[in-house]
Structure 1
Amino acid sequence: MAILGNIIKGVIDLKGTLTSDTNHVEAQRAVLKQLLEKAKDTQFGTHYRFSEILESDTMLSAFAKTVPYFDYNKINEAWWSKLHEGESDVTWPGAPSYFALSSGTTGKTSKRIPVTDDMISAIRESGIKQVFALHNFDLPADFFEKEIMMLGSSTDLEENNDHLEGEISGISASNIPFWFRSYYKPGEDIAKIDDWDARVQRIAERAKDWDIGALSGIPSWIELMLQKVIDHHNLENIHDIWPNLQVYTSGGVAFSPYEKSFNALMGKPVTVIDTYLASEGYVATQVRPETDAMQLNTDSGIYFEFVPFKPEYINKDGSLSQDAPALTLEQVERNQDYVLIMSTVSGAWRYLIGDTIEFTDIERAEIKITGRTKFFLNTVGSQLSVNKMDDAMQKLEEKFSTKIPEYTICAKRGEDDEFYHFWYIGSEAENLDNSEVAEALDGFLKAANKNYKVARSKALKGVKVKLINPSVFHEWSGANKKKGGQVKMERVMGEDKFKEWETFVTQN
């Protein structure tokens, strides 16, 4: 009998029964007030008159009118760069203990995003919320005695003056509570291995020593790790070595493009729970099984605003026009794409995180990630968002009985000087015809997006597809950034980057 598991499950169930529903609108008002109060005497708070905003009868709108939008480059040049020169009390009291390094999906150069002790606490609070939400998933008691494989970036953080630097997943893993360490795999020694291939090799070698009940990590890298374990032990599927694996916590990207390839590695179904941990904070987590949408963490150190995702509000570099309207949680609508704006306990203010979301349930503050501001393809009016592209990939999987975990696209002129969408699609199938897939893809996108259909009848000449092995996408990420961690494949590329990509594909 799972004695410890029954105790833990009992505590979680009791907590779930006693916890009342959060009033997310009120929680957000309280968070903004707390942020302004704590930062009012910082350089940023003084400059933007936080004390006056706090005295306003319309605090939320006064905040939006007074403080401009910031992307990383803008806030780093004006404010965060001072932190690297030894200044303190810049955008948040004191100096940050960590900087999260993030090249994201758009380039080699790492951003250095401050992570304060207050943010570490906020991430931990949101993590505890996620644990208690397991009450809704009705997992068996013995699940709570199993180990958890967290595959993030290295926890061997780099010292830089008076702070540590690394990816957010490595920073978070290095701060796990002491009581959780006996559950945490691959353990501190392996987690510190910086080289991703070497770390995964050690995981494969040790896999038989562990009783894994849950996985956590970016889908593409989790899949590669699972395949390595399967190959190393000559298994049919991962349940042959981890028979008690019951939960996968995805994060950072939509899981749907990876669903088919992920399930192919399983011996039986597992519960998939989506989460949304970014370098700037723990944004949202799925709290109930009836939906794959995630609930915004509205009471844990982040104040959210939402800009309608329309071409007239987005500059060519993906930044926001300063006259773009920002809505509060009280003002949003369902099924509308929004640019996500965050103000946080790490001293990010009205910060463009780069993601777009839509609300599926406003009262519950539940969202889905729909794409990236820089991955919105609007050449010649096609208006394709990443979620529409993901949907099309799933339809191709069904039509051609294949798995498509990765893809990328560029809109550019062909040899005839006409505009085309050039797609590279990852599939191991050997009998697929590029032209046949292109025709089917074009048809799916026309049916799903009226703007695309109109563009195809005018300036968008056609679709060109090249099928390649999915491993090429992983090697591209490894060559341009770093394998594992928070690294994600860029879904849409500009022409200069696409030239580099095509050269890389030819050479590999």
Structure 2
Amino acid sequence: MAIFGSIIKSIIDLKETLTPEGEAVKDQEQVLVNLLKKAKDTSFGKHYKFEKILESEDVRKAFAEKVPYFDYNKIDKEWWHKYHEGEENVTWPGKPPYFALSSGTTGKTSKRIPVTEEMVEAIRNAGIKQVSALSNFDLPPDFFEKEIMMLGSSTDLHKEGDHQEGEISGISASRIPFWFRSYYKPGEEISKIDEWDDRVQKIAENAEEWDIGALSGIPSWMELMLKKVIEHHNLNHIHEIWPNLQVYTSGGVAFEPYEKSFNALLGKPIQVIDTYLASEGFLALQDRPDTHSMRLITDNGIYFEFVPFKPDYINQDGSLTEDAPVIPLEEVEEEKDYVILISTVSGAWRYLIGDTIKFTDKSRNEIRITGRTKFFLNVVGSQLSVNKMNDAVQELENKFEIRIPEFVVAAKRGEDGEYYHYWYLGTEDKAEDDKLAEALDEALKNANKNYKVARSKALKGVKVTTIDPNMFHEWNAKNKKKGGQVKMEKVMNEEKFAEWEKFIKEQSPAT
């Protein structure tokens, strides 16, 4: 009997029982009021008259009317850049001790997103909520004695003037409480290694010394790490070295596209738990089994707003039009796509993080990530969102019995002057490109009426090229970096796609 594990499990069960589920709308109203009060004397708060907003009968409505939408480029150009020029009290009191570096899914240039002490605390509180929610999953007591492999970015933060910089997973891991450090793997020394390949090599070399019960990280990089461990020790699957592995906490992207290839690395099924940790904050977590949906964290320093995800409201660069309507939490509808906006204890205001979501269960405030505003393929009216693309690719996996963990697509003119969707599918399995293209086209026609209409008019067809999935990882290494929070872009414009195709030809001269 795992006595220590039983004690921990009992504490978690008790905490979950004693913690009341707040009323989300009231929680959100209070979060917004607290944010406005805290920031009313900042430069941003004075400029947008937070004091006056707080005096309004309907604070949420006044806030939406007075403060415009911001994406990273806009808020950094108008406000956040002042922190780097020595100013204080810009969009949040004081100066942030950290900046989270995020290249996101586009471009080589890292964004520098403020991370305040209040945000570090909010992320820690969200982590505690996630641990508490484990009481809802059927996990044995001995699970709570096993070690947790957290595969994030390097915890060796870089000192820049009066603050430190690194990816959010590295910042969070660098602040792990002392009581958790004995459970945390790969440990402080290995976690500080900056180069992804070197860090993963060290993990592989030390893997047999650890009793891993849970994994945490982005699916694409987690797969690479598991493959490296399996290869290094000449294993059939990961459970041969970590027999007690029972949980994988995914994050930041939909897990389903990776499910088939991920499961191929396992010796037995494990519990997959989705979380939503962005560079701007910890937004949602899965708190019950038998779903891939996550509950919005509505009482923890982040205020949410939602804009219907429609072409009329999205600019070419993925930002919002000024007249895009905003929907409060109580008015959202299930199974409709929304652009998510956040205002936070790090001084982000009505901030577009670039993700689209849908509510799967409004009563539980449960959501799923459906894509990115920039990953919206609408060059010839096809109106394809990433979730539709993911679904179609999963249909291919099932129909052809193959695994396709990565893909990228662009719309461009072919040699005949007509528009085509050009797809690159990452797979190690064999399938004929022409047959994949035909099946993919049919799946998208059935799933999206706008795509079907486009196919009868301006969109001539679909062209598919299958490549080694490692090409996607090497592309990231060339353009950004490997590991951490880096995610592969799914949709490219013609200019970026030309670079991609040139890169693929250089890597595979025979193709």
- The bucket for the TM-score relative to the shorter chain is over 0.9
- Matching residue's letter, 2:66: T
What is the count of residue pairs matched by the alignment? 507
Q: Which residue of 2 aligns with 1:481?
A: 480
CA contact (8 A) 1:100 1:115 kept: yes
Give ranges in structure 2 of 5+ residues lacking alignment.
Answer: none
Q: Which residue of 2 aligns with 1:14?
A: 14
Tell me by how many angstroms 1:498 deviates: 0.3
State the SS of the aligned residue for 1:379: coil
Pairs within 5 Å for 1:28-427:
28-427=28-427
Tell me by how many angstroms 1:20 deviates: 2.2
Tell me by how many angstroms 1:242 deviates: 0.2
State the SS of the aligned residue for 2:83: helix
Tell me by how many angstroms 1:455 deviates: 0.8
CA distance in structure 2 between the partners assigned to 1:451 and 1:37 by the alignment:
45
CA distance in structure 1 between the partners assigned to 2:62 and 2:155 by the alignment:
41
CA distance in structure 2 between the partners assigned to 1:189 and 1:60 by the alignment:
46
State whether structure 2 residue 444 is matched by structure 1 residue 442.
no
State the SS of the aligned residue for 2:360: strand
Give ranges in structure 1 of 5+ residues lacking alignment.
Answer: none
Tell me by how many angstroms 1:364 deviates: 1.2
Deviation by residue 1:188-244 (Cα, 9 ceiling, x = unmatched): 000000000000000000000000000000000000000000000000100000000
- Matching residue's letter, 2:468: N
Name the stretch that deviates more: 261-270 or 446-455: 446-455
CA contact (8 A) 1:382 1:451 kept: yes
CA distance in structure 1 between the partners assigned to 2:258 and 2:285 by the alignment:
18
Deviation by residue 1:140-199 (Cα, 9 ceiling, x = unmatched): 000000000000000000000010000001001001111110000000000000000000
CA distance in structure 2 between the partners assigned to 1:265 and 1:212 by the alignment:
15
State the 4+ residue runs in structure 1 displaced beyond 4 angstroms.
none
CA distance in structure 1 between the partners assigned to 2:328 and 2:247 by the alignment:
34
Q: Which residue of 1 aligns with 2:466?
A: 467
- Matching residue's letter, 2:454: A
CA distance in structure 1 between the partners assigned to 2:427 and 2:247 by the alignment:
26
- Matching residue's letter, 1:463: V
Name the stretch that deviates more: 45-54 or 19-28: 19-28
Tell me by how many angstroms 1:470 deviates: 0.3
CA distance in structure 2 between the partners assigned to 1:290 and 1:254 by the alignment:
15
CA distance in structure 2 between the partners assigned to 1:217 and 1:390 by the alignment:
20
CA distance in structure 1 between the partners assigned to 2:232 and 2:83 by the alignment:
46
- Matching residue's letter, 1:477: N
CA distance in structure 2 between the partners assigned to 1:361 and 1:88 by the alignment:
41
User: TM-score when scaled to structure 1?
Assistant: 0.99
Q: Which residue of 2 aligns with 1:506?
A: 505
CA contact (8 A) 1:153 1:485 kept: yes
State the SS of the aligned residue for 2:329: coil
CA distance in structure 2 between the partners assigned to 1:32 and 1:433 by the alignment:
54
CA distance in structure 2 between the partners assigned to 1:291 and 1:236 by the alignment:
29
State the SS of the aligned residue for 1:343: strand
Q: Report the identity percentage.
A: 71
Deviation by residue 1:30-65 (Cα, 9 ceiling, x = unmatched): 100000000000000000000010010010000000
- Matching residue's letter, 1:364: R
CA contact (8 A) 1:24 1:364 kept: no
State the SS of the aligned residue for 1:165: strand
Tell me by how many angstroms 1:21 deviates: 2.0
CA distance in structure 1 between the partners assigned to 2:141 and 2:180 by the alignment:
17
- Matching residue's letter, 1:170: G
State the SS of the aligned residue for 1:96: coil
Tell me by how many angstroms 1:429 deviates: 1.7
CA distance in structure 1 between the partners assigned to 2:290 and 2:21 by the alignment:
17
- Matching residue's letter, 2:232: H
Tell me by how many angstroms 1:291 deviates: 1.5
CA distance in structure 2 between the partners assigned to 1:392 and 1:335 by the alignment:
18
Tell me by how many angstroms 1:433 deviates: 1.1
The RMSD of aligned alpha carbons is 0.6
- Matching residue's letter, 1:402: I
Tell me by how many angstroms 1:139 deviates: 0.7
Deviation by residue 1:76-96 (Cα, 9 ceiling, x = unmatched): 011000000010000000000
- Matching residue's letter, 1:202: K
CA distance in structure 1 between the partners assigned to 2:243 and 2:31 by the alignment:
43
CA distance in structure 2 between the partners assigned to 1:190 and 1:262 by the alignment:
24
CA distance in structure 2 between the partners assigned to 1:316 and 1:426 by the alignment:
27
- Matching residue's letter, 1:442: D
State the SS of the aligned residue for 1:375: coil
User: TM-score when scaled to structure 2?
Assistant: 0.99
CA distance in structure 2 between the partners assigned to 1:22 and 1:411 by the alignment:
46
CA distance in structure 2 between the partners assigned to 1:363 and 1:175 by the alignment:
34
State the SS of the aligned residue for 2:354: strand
Tell me by how many angstroms 1:451 deviates: 0.9
State whether structure 2 residue 452 is matched by structure 1 residue 456.
no
CA contact (8 A) 1:103 1:481 kept: yes
State the SS of the aligned residue for 1:429: coil
Tell me by how many angstroms 1:18 deviates: 2.1
